[in-house]
Amino acid sequence: MTMLKEGRPTAPQAVNDADTIPATATGNRALMLEEALIFEIGSTDTTGVDFADAPKVASRLGNLARTDGIGLPGLSEQETVRHYTRLSRQNYAIDLGLFPLGSCTMKHNPRLNEKVARMPGFADIHPLQPQSTVQGALAVIHELAAWLVTLTGMHSVAMSPKAGAHGELCGLLAIRAALEARGDARSVILVPESAHGTNPATAAFCGYKVEDIPATPDGRVDLEALKARLGPDVAAVMITNPNTCGLFERDMKTISDAVHAAGAFVYCDGANFNAIVGRVRPGDLGVDAMHINLHKTFSTPHGGGGPGSGPVVLSEALTPFAPLPFVEKQGDGFALVEEETADEHHASSFGRMVAFHGQMGMFTRALTYILSHGADGLRQVAEDAVLNANYVLRSLDDVLDAPFGGSGPCMHEALFSDKGLADGFTTLDIAKGLIDEGFHPMTMYFPLVVHGAMLVEPTETESKAALDQFILALRSLANRAKAGDEALKGAPYFAPRRRLDETLAARKPVLTWTEPALAQAAE
């Protein structure tokens, strides 16, 4: 059997230190308020919305009127505001402090972007309005597309993918369409072991067999092993650059040349574009397709897990196969090229990926961010992101193992491992300790190639003072974990919840709320 994945404790040991903390009758603790579920506090007879009286008409519902109780509780407006405000306070967020989640680029979300996205001219237009009534929206897409193409030095961009993984899919579909167009069926995609999980998942979805590319001891793609594996069955190589170990792939151009010589394509996972924007153009490195997570590099809000947006920049070779629809400048105006007109000059498109035109609400935010920074500001973004990461790396590498600390400067993120922690202490303990210190933990146990990985990405929007406080916290935790401080294993103590039992959740999944009487009867 395979046992490649690292296990970590997923069911906590019971804690019993309640005797030292006085209980309250409500369970609340001053500003930390417990909040019940809407199903427990709401009722189906309550509503927080008033409507005009409906006209009296004979129903045309085809005898399908819904007569059963739906079971949707309502709250008054005041109760609603309070419910969600209380819940919001149980979340950590960038607005509260440093959020060093490696590979995720949690940078400040400027509020101008939010204001612009809510302008009625953007927020309140329908995707199927006649094109004469949405010229400003098409102009936004076109203007953002021009920036992305220029910043990456690529030939074109497909704007419609809905998120990074959706962008990967777009890139691989374009590659597959290009190969099929030249009658060259290939079956294998090479992916480094350190890649994001979406890479192999996407490749497999597109019908490809996935093979690992080994890494060198210094944390980069093993060029010789890659060259040796290239052949007529390889469709593409997927490479993350800067890679998930936080290192720039020095041999990228050589890799691209070798891949092209073998008749294959280079897909670049652009999740880490933030580190090089304005300083390096992927187009100069021989990349054929790369998705750009607008929610990372261009600071559209993560929103507790999406929505994202993942435009894909394409080389000249892949451009004819890009998806529909796209925006084109025609004369003084802009036109949307859809299925109807595609045949005229985009007949090779692999087709449509989403119902409409992509994440317009993210395009307005990203363009606002880009215009605010300008070419000079974006270059500064990359420089400060890399500077901050190296500062963290060199301020901690005496107390934490930095497996690639000797491989040169890191890019936008610093990678540590659990090597040297006392017996029985893990990356998880450090992560949970950071919660008590008032920080969101770093990315843990990724990339998979490093044991007990801790991946720290501070981003450029953190001040030196914020970094120093974070370094202070992480140094303290590293020292406690090395000294075997048992108290650390109970962390977090001060969060809204102690460690949660993921084993219980997975063994007996409770995915929706059931009235207690029904739940009991079912047992």
Partner 1 sequence: MRYLPLTDTDRQEMLSVIGASSIDDLFVDVPAEARLSGQIEGLPDHASELAVERHMAALARKNLSAGEAPFFLGAGAYKHHVPASVDHLIQRGEFLTAYTPYQPEIAQGTLQVLFEFQTQVARLLGCDVANASMYDGSTACWEAIGMARRITKRGKALLSSGLHPHYVSVANTMAKFTGDVLEHESPTLDAATDIDALIASIDKDTSCVVVQYPDILGRIADLTPLADAAHAVGALLVAVVTEPVALGAIKAPGHMGADIVVGEGQSIGVGLQFGGPYLGLFACKQKYVRQMPGRLCGETLDASGKRGFVLTLSTREQHIRREKATSNICTNSGLCALAFSIHMTLLGEKGLRELAVLNHGLAVQAADRLAQVPGVTLLNDSFFNEFTLILSKDARDVVRALADKGVLAGVSLGRLFPTAPEIGNGLVVAVTETVTPEDIETLAKALEEELA
Partner 2 sequence: MSRYFTDEHEWIDVAGDIATVGITDYAQEQLGDIVFVELPAEGTTFEKGDDAAVVESVKAASDVYAPISGEVVESNSALEDEPALVNSDAEEDGWFFKLRIADASELEGLMNEAAYKKFVASL
Site residues, partner 2 (CB under 8 A): 1-11, 445, 502-503, 505-507
| Residues 388 and 459 sit within 8 Å (Cβ to Cβ) | yes
Closest C-alpha among 381, 153, 378, 385 to residue 281? 153
- 296 interface partner picked from partner 1, partner 2, none, CB below 5 to 8 A per type: none
Pair of tokens at residue 355: 């119902």
SS3 at position 334: strand
Smallest separation (angstroms) from partner 2 to the CB of 303: 25
SS3 at position 253: helix
Greatest extent of the chain over all pairs of C-alpha atoms, in Å? 78
Nearer to partner 1, 186 or 432 (CB): 432
- 495 interface partner picked from partner 2, partner 1, none, CB below 5 to 8 A per type: partner 1
Smallest separation (angstroms) from partner 2 to the CB of 15: 18
- 248 interface partner picked from partner 2, partner 1, none, CB below 5 to 8 A per type: partner 1
Smallest separation (angstroms) from partner 1 to the CB of 474: 15
- 8 interface partner picked from partner 2, partner 1, none, CB below 5 to 8 A per type: partner 2
Edge to edge, the sheet with strand 289-291 lists 156-158, 312-314, 289-291, 265-269, 234-240, 188-192, 209-213
Closest C-alpha among 445, 417, 440, 436 to residue 487? 436
Closest C-alpha among 349, 396, 371, 409 to residue 156? 349
Smallest separation (angstroms) from partner 1 to the CB of 423: 22
| Residues 328 and 341 sit within 8 Å (Cβ to Cβ) | no
Closest C-alpha among 394, 388, 414, 399 to residue 475? 399
Smallest separation (angstroms) from partner 2 to the CB of 82: 34
Smallest separation (angstroms) from partner 1 to the CB of 144: 11
Q: What's the CA gap between 513 and 519, in Å, rounded?
A: 9
Smallest separation (angstroms) from partner 1 to the CB of 401: 18
Q: What's the CA gap between 435 and 331, in Å, rounded?
A: 56
- 3 interface partner picked from partner 1, partner 2, none, CB below 5 to 8 A per type: partner 2
- 48 interface partner picked from partner 1, partner 2, none, CB below 5 to 8 A per type: partner 1
Close Cβ partners of 122 (under 8 Å, ≥ 6 residues apart): 116, 136, 137, 140, 360, 361, 364
Smallest separation (angstroms) from partner 1 to the CB of 260: 16
Nearer to partner 2, 196 or 365 (CB): 196
| Residues 452 and 442 sit within 8 Å (Cβ to Cβ) | no
Smallest separation (angstroms) from partner 2 to the CB of 428: 11
- 274 interface partner picked from partner 2, partner 1, none, CB below 5 to 8 A per type: none
Nearer to partner 2, 1 or 21 (CB): 1
Q: What's the CA gap between 245 and 389, in Å, rounded?
A: 12
Q: What's the CA gap between 203 and 196, in Å, rounded?
A: 12
The amino acid at 109: N
> How many CB atoms are located within 10 Å of the residue 151 CB?
23
Pair of tokens at residue 504: 């219980």
Q: What's the CA gap between 375 and 357, in Å, rounded?
A: 27
Smallest separation (angstroms) from partner 2 to the CB of 489: 16
Nearer to partner 1, 263 or 377 (CB): 377
Q: On the CB side of 371, how many CA atoms lie within 13 Å of its CA?
A: 14
- Residue identified by tokens 């979300």 is 109
Nearer to partner 2, 10 or 254 (CB): 10
Nearer to partner 2, 137 or 428 (CB): 428
Nearer to partner 2, 94 or 449 (CB): 449
Pair of tokens at residue 137: 């929206």
- 279 interface partner picked from partner 1, partner 2, none, CB below 5 to 8 A per type: partner 1
Closest C-alpha among 71, 45, 96 to residue 440? 96
Nearer to partner 2, 184 or 502 (CB): 502
Nearer to partner 2, 111 or 507 (CB): 507
Nearer to partner 1, 91 or 479 (CB): 91
The amino acid at 403: P
- 329 interface partner picked from partner 2, partner 1, none, CB below 5 to 8 A per type: none
Smallest separation (angstroms) from partner 2 to the CB of 205: 17
Nearer to partner 2, 32 or 506 (CB): 506
- 137 interface partner picked from partner 2, partner 1, none, CB below 5 to 8 A per type: partner 1
- 427 interface partner picked from partner 1, partner 2, none, CB below 5 to 8 A per type: none
